[in-house]
Amino acid sequence: MSENKLAGQFFDAAIGLLQRARDEEADHITAAGAMLADTVVDGGRLFVFGAGHSSLPAQDVVYRAGGLALMNLLAVPGAVGIDVMPATLGSALERVNGLAGAVLDSSPVQPGDVLIVVSLSGRNSLPVEMAMNARALGLKVIGVTSLAYAEQTRSRHVSGTFLKDHCDLVIDSKIPPGDAELTADGIAAPFAPASTVVTSALLQAVVATAAGELAARGIDPPMLRSGNVDGGHEWNGRVMAEYGDRIFFRH
């Protein structure tokens, strides 16, 4: 078996998914970017949530060089990545009813804010209720999920609904159920997940679109610069001072 051949197959699969996401979700990406820009202009705040490995794309747009300073991570203790032991506890927390409501009630979200909910399957209670409760509180919700899961799996929420059913806008990541792009002789299980690559690209595309939309309206978008280039810390300090009332990861 050639490991290089498998590596090439994975790159091809990921590139194919990225091309589909670019071409088929272009209108939704544009609409999501406009929604973020509208919220920035209106004085609202921006939040993003993901549980398990879906937290990785969410974290990727928060407090990073080249990113929008106003993106805030809405963290659920124990559900962000594999930050608990045993790691299976994180998966169990995604199926707990009522947890999302408790988190939102103790968070700084306000009506008119935007919450991006990232969930590959969109079937667990936590992302479903996060979207449901956020909308009930007057937030606008963007869901980033795989619609194929809603077609080929059953919801784990008591309502029988999926994340996609509780969003103002849905972006489809195109990831097939199972999130494994390759199979090979001698390897019993499918392998090589691409959801993080594709979902991260989708979120960065939305942020880039929002920045462009703000610029088109004559507004200098509050972007962060790398702290590892000269002048980066000073630049970021000015941005955070100007928008400090809408940036929560610094408190």
What residue ranges define each of the domains in the chain, with the CATH number in brackets?
A: 23-178+191-246 (3.40.50.10490)
Query: 96-109: string of b/e by CB count within 10 Å (b at 16+)?
Result: beebbbebbeebeb
* pLDDT attached to residue 1: 47
Looking at residue 198, what is its pLDDT?
A: 98
Judged against a pLDDT cut of 90, whether residue 80 lies above it is answered with no
- Do the Cβ atoms of 62 and 207 come closer than 8 Å? no
> Is residue 249 over pLDDT 90?
no
SS (H, E, C) the chain: CCHHHHHHHHHHHHHHHHHHHHHHCHHHHHHHHHHHHHHHHCCCCEEEEECECCHHHHHHCCCCCCCECCEEECCCCCCECCCCCCCHHHHHHCCCCCHHHHHHHCCCCCCCCEEEEECCCCCCHHHHHHHHHHHHCCCEEEEEECHHHHHHCCCCCCCCCCHHHHCCEEEECCCCCCCCCEEECCEEEEECCCHHHHHHHHHHHHHHHHHHHHHHCCCCCCECCCCCCCCHHHHHHHHHHHCHHHCCCCC
Alpha-carbon span 101 to 149, nearest angstrom? 24
Mean pLDDT of 201-223: 98
Separation between Cα atoms, residue 180 and residue 163, nearest integer Å: 21
Looking at residue 97, what is its pLDDT?
Answer: 81
Query: Looking at this protein, which amino acid is placed at residue 29?
Result: I
Cis peptide before 86 (omega within 30 of 0): yes
Q: What is the pLDDT of residues 118-128, one digit of tens each?
A: 999 999 999 99
Cβ proximity of 135 and 105 under 8 Å = no
Q: Are residues 231 and 176 in contact, defined by beta-carbon separation less than 8 angstroms? A: no
What span, in angstroms and rounded, lies between the C-alpha atoms of 42 and 49? 22
When pLDDT is averaged across residues 233-240 and rounded to a whole number, the result is 95
Across 27-45, average pLDDT: 97
Averaged pLDDT, 11-28: 98
79 vs 146: CA distance, rounded Å: 20
8 Å CB contact between 172 and 25: yes
Instruction: Identify the pLDDT of residue 3.
Output: 56
pLDDT at 2 > cutoff 70: no
| pLDDT, the chain, mean | 94
* Percent of residues, the chain, with pLDDT higher than 70: 97
Query: Is the pLDDT score of 70 beyond 50?
Result: yes
The per-residue pLDDT for 251 is 55
Over 90: is that where the pLDDT of 89 sits?
no
Contacts of 187 (CB under 8 A, 6+ apart): none
pLDDT in tens, 92-107: 777 778 888 999 999 9
